[in-house]
Protein backbone atom coordinates (compact mmCIF):
# COMPACT_ATOMS: atom_id res chain seq x y z
CA UNK A 1 0.00 0.00 0.00
CA UNK A 2 1.14 3.52 -0.85
CA UNK A 3 -0.18 6.44 1.21
CA UNK A 4 -0.13 10.21 0.74
CA UNK A 5 -0.11 11.69 4.25
CA UNK A 6 -2.81 14.29 4.80
CA UNK A 7 -1.56 16.63 7.51
CA UNK A 8 -3.39 19.69 6.24
CA UNK A 9 -0.66 21.25 4.09
CA UNK A 10 -0.35 20.11 0.51
CA UNK A 11 -1.93 19.78 -2.90
CA UNK A 12 -2.87 16.16 -2.28
CA UNK A 13 -5.22 15.54 -5.18
CA UNK A 14 -2.90 16.92 -7.86
CA UNK A 15 -0.08 14.75 -6.53
CA UNK A 16 -2.34 11.71 -6.42
CA UNK A 17 -3.45 12.34 -10.01
CA UNK A 18 0.15 12.69 -11.20
CA UNK A 19 1.15 9.47 -9.44
CA UNK A 20 -1.82 7.61 -10.88
CA UNK A 21 -0.77 8.81 -14.32
CA UNK A 22 2.38 6.73 -13.86
CA UNK A 23 0.53 3.71 -12.49
CA UNK A 24 1.22 4.48 -8.83
CA UNK A 25 -2.03 3.91 -6.93
CA UNK A 26 -2.26 5.72 -3.60
CA UNK A 27 -4.59 6.40 -0.70
CA UNK A 28 -4.83 9.79 1.00
CA UNK A 29 -4.99 9.37 4.77
CA UNK A 30 -4.12 10.90 8.14
CA UNK A 31 -5.00 7.71 10.04
CA UNK A 32 -1.88 6.41 11.84
CA UNK A 33 -3.17 2.86 11.53
CA UNK A 34 -3.44 3.13 7.76
CA UNK A 35 -0.02 4.77 7.43
CA UNK A 36 1.56 2.04 9.59
CA UNK A 37 0.47 -0.48 6.94
CA UNK A 38 2.08 1.48 4.08
CA UNK A 39 5.14 0.33 2.18
CA UNK A 40 5.54 3.78 0.62
CA UNK A 41 4.73 7.09 2.34
CA UNK A 42 4.43 10.37 0.45
CA UNK A 43 4.86 13.63 2.37
CA UNK A 44 3.69 16.54 0.20
CA UNK A 45 3.65 20.06 1.56
CA UNK A 46 3.35 23.77 0.91
CA UNK A 47 3.76 26.55 3.46
CA UNK A 48 5.89 26.91 6.57
CA UNK A 49 8.06 24.22 8.19
CA UNK A 50 6.76 25.05 11.68
CA UNK A 51 3.14 24.53 10.67
CA UNK A 52 3.95 21.27 8.90
CA UNK A 53 5.97 19.60 11.66
CA UNK A 54 3.49 20.82 14.31
CA UNK A 55 0.58 19.37 12.37
CA UNK A 56 2.36 16.04 11.90
CA UNK A 57 3.23 15.86 15.60
CA UNK A 58 -0.30 16.76 16.70
CA UNK A 59 -1.58 13.47 15.27
CA UNK A 60 1.54 11.47 16.16
CA UNK A 61 2.35 11.11 12.48
CA UNK A 62 5.96 12.28 12.91
CA UNK A 63 6.70 9.18 15.00
CA UNK A 64 4.73 6.96 12.61
CA UNK A 65 6.86 8.15 9.68
CA UNK A 66 10.09 7.64 11.65
CA UNK A 67 8.98 4.15 12.68
CA UNK A 68 8.11 3.19 9.11
CA UNK A 69 11.42 4.57 7.85
CA UNK A 70 13.32 2.47 10.40
CA UNK A 71 11.34 -0.55 9.22
CA UNK A 72 12.50 0.01 5.64
CA UNK A 73 9.49 1.73 4.09
CA UNK A 74 10.06 4.31 1.38
CA UNK A 75 9.47 7.88 2.54
CA UNK A 76 9.13 10.38 -0.30
CA UNK A 77 9.06 14.09 0.57
CA UNK A 78 7.99 16.70 -1.97
CA UNK A 79 8.77 20.44 -1.69
CA UNK A 80 8.16 21.28 1.99
CA UNK A 81 7.81 17.54 2.53
CA UNK A 82 11.44 17.09 1.47
CA UNK A 83 12.56 19.72 3.98
CA UNK A 84 10.77 17.84 6.76
CA UNK A 85 13.10 14.89 6.15
CA UNK A 86 16.10 16.80 7.55
CA UNK A 87 17.23 17.34 11.14
CA UNK A 88 15.95 20.88 11.69
CA UNK A 89 14.79 24.09 10.07
CA UNK A 90 15.63 27.73 10.77
CA UNK A 91 12.48 29.10 9.15
CA UNK A 92 11.03 31.68 11.57
CA UNK A 93 12.71 30.02 14.53
CA UNK A 94 14.36 26.65 15.11
CA UNK A 95 12.24 23.53 14.64
CA UNK A 96 13.22 19.88 14.73
CA UNK A 97 12.48 17.83 11.62
CA UNK A 98 12.08 14.10 11.12
CA UNK A 99 15.83 13.49 11.18
CA UNK A 100 15.86 10.98 8.32
CA UNK A 101 18.59 12.89 6.44
CA UNK A 102 21.42 14.75 8.25
CA UNK A 103 21.34 18.48 7.59
CA UNK A 104 19.36 21.63 8.13
CA UNK A 105 16.95 23.89 6.28
CA UNK A 106 18.14 27.48 5.85
CA UNK A 107 16.99 30.56 3.95
CA UNK A 108 18.13 31.25 0.42
CA UNK A 109 20.56 34.14 0.11
CA UNK A 110 19.31 37.42 -1.28
CA UNK A 111 18.51 37.02 -4.93
CA UNK A 112 16.57 39.21 -7.37
CA UNK A 113 13.48 37.19 -6.49
CA UNK A 114 12.64 35.30 -3.30
CA UNK A 115 10.93 32.87 -3.19
CA UNK A 116 12.67 30.91 -5.91
CA UNK A 117 9.59 30.37 -8.03
CA UNK A 118 9.45 29.03 -11.56
CA UNK A 119 11.35 26.74 -13.89
CA UNK A 120 14.99 25.92 -13.32
CA UNK A 121 17.35 23.32 -14.73
CA UNK A 122 18.76 20.26 -13.00
CA UNK A 123 22.33 18.99 -12.86
CA UNK A 124 22.54 15.26 -12.26
CA UNK A 125 25.15 14.68 -9.52
CA UNK A 126 25.31 10.88 -9.54
CA UNK A 127 23.74 7.85 -11.12
CA UNK A 128 20.61 6.65 -9.39
CA UNK A 129 17.45 4.78 -10.41
CA UNK A 130 15.62 8.09 -9.95
CA UNK A 131 17.58 9.68 -12.79
CA UNK A 132 16.93 6.89 -15.30
CA UNK A 133 14.91 9.19 -17.55
CA UNK A 134 16.52 12.52 -16.57
CA UNK A 135 19.29 14.45 -18.27
CA UNK A 136 21.34 17.37 -17.00
CA UNK A 137 19.62 20.48 -18.32
CA UNK A 138 16.06 19.22 -17.82
CA UNK A 139 13.77 21.87 -16.32
CA UNK A 140 11.43 21.42 -13.36
CA UNK A 141 9.16 23.75 -11.38
CA UNK A 142 10.24 25.18 -7.99
CA UNK A 143 8.48 27.24 -5.31
CA UNK A 144 10.56 27.74 -2.13
CA UNK A 145 12.40 30.27 0.02
CA UNK A 146 14.44 27.77 2.07
CA UNK A 147 16.71 24.92 1.04
CA UNK A 148 18.58 21.94 2.49
CA UNK A 149 22.17 22.47 3.63
CA UNK A 150 24.10 19.29 4.40
CA UNK A 151 27.27 17.33 3.71
CA UNK A 152 25.79 16.60 0.31
CA UNK A 153 26.17 12.81 0.22
CA UNK A 154 22.43 12.46 -0.36
CA UNK A 155 22.29 14.76 -3.40
CA UNK A 156 21.21 13.02 -6.61
CA UNK A 157 20.59 16.23 -8.59
CA UNK A 158 20.89 19.91 -7.84
CA UNK A 159 19.94 23.28 -9.27
CA UNK A 160 21.57 26.68 -9.04
CA UNK A 161 19.88 29.74 -7.62
CA UNK A 162 22.60 31.89 -6.11
CA UNK A 163 24.05 28.70 -4.70
CA UNK A 164 23.94 24.94 -5.16
CA UNK A 165 20.50 23.78 -4.06
CA UNK A 166 19.70 20.08 -3.55
CA UNK A 167 16.83 19.29 -5.91
CA UNK A 168 16.64 15.48 -5.72
CA UNK A 169 18.01 13.68 -2.67
CA UNK A 170 18.13 10.08 -1.61
CA UNK A 171 19.46 8.35 1.48
CA UNK A 172 18.55 4.68 1.32
CA UNK A 173 14.77 4.49 1.11
CA UNK A 174 14.35 8.17 1.99
CA UNK A 175 13.78 10.33 -1.09
CA UNK A 176 13.14 14.04 -1.53
CA UNK A 177 12.24 16.41 -4.36
CA UNK A 178 12.58 20.12 -3.65
CA UNK A 179 10.54 20.93 -6.75
CA UNK A 180 7.01 19.84 -7.71
CA UNK A 181 7.10 16.81 -10.04
CA UNK A 182 3.33 17.08 -10.49
CA UNK A 183 3.80 20.60 -11.93
CA UNK A 184 6.89 19.82 -14.01
CA UNK A 185 5.36 18.54 -17.22
CA UNK A 186 7.04 15.73 -19.12
CA UNK A 187 10.18 15.84 -16.97
CA UNK A 188 8.13 15.48 -13.79
CA UNK A 189 6.18 12.60 -15.34
CA UNK A 190 9.45 10.89 -16.30
CA UNK A 191 10.75 11.27 -12.76
CA UNK A 192 7.56 9.78 -11.30
CA UNK A 193 7.82 6.93 -13.79
CA UNK A 194 11.34 6.15 -12.55
CA UNK A 195 10.13 6.42 -8.97
CA UNK A 196 7.27 4.03 -9.69
CA UNK A 197 9.65 1.47 -11.13
CA UNK A 198 11.87 1.81 -8.09
CA UNK A 199 9.14 1.39 -5.44
CA UNK A 200 6.98 -1.21 -7.20
For every one of its 200 residues, what pLDDT tens digit does the chain have, with 9 covering 90 and above?
A: 999 999 988 789 999 999 999 999 999 999 999 999 999 999 998 889 999 999 999 999 999 999 999 999 999 999 999 999 999 999 999 999 999 999 999 999 877 788 899 999 999 999 999 999 999 999 999 999 999 999 999 999 999 998 899 999 999 999 999 999 999 999 999 999 999 999 98
The CATH number covering residue 17 comes to 3.40.50.880
d(CA 198, CA 13): 22
Q: pLDDT by residue (tens digit) across 66-121?
A: 999 999 999 999 999 999 999 999 999 999 999 999 999 999 987 778 889 999 99
- Tally the domains of the chain: 1
Rounded to two decimals, the pTM is 0.96
Separation of alpha carbons 135 and 179, rounded Å: 16
Coil, helix or strand at residue 195 = helix
3-state secondary structure labels for all residues of 60-113? CHHHHHHHHHHCCCEEEEECHHHHCCEEEECCCCCEECCCCEEEEEEECCCCCC
Provide the pLDDT for residue 100: 98
Question: Catalytic residue numbers?
Answer: 79, 180, 182
Residue span of the structural domain in which 8 resides:
2-199
Amino acid sequence: MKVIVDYGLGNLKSLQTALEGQGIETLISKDPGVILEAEVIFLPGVGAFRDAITSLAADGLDEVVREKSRAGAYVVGICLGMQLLYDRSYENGVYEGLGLIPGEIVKLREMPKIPHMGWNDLTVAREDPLTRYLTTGDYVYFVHSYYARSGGEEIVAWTGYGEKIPAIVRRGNTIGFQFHPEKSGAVGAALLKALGEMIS
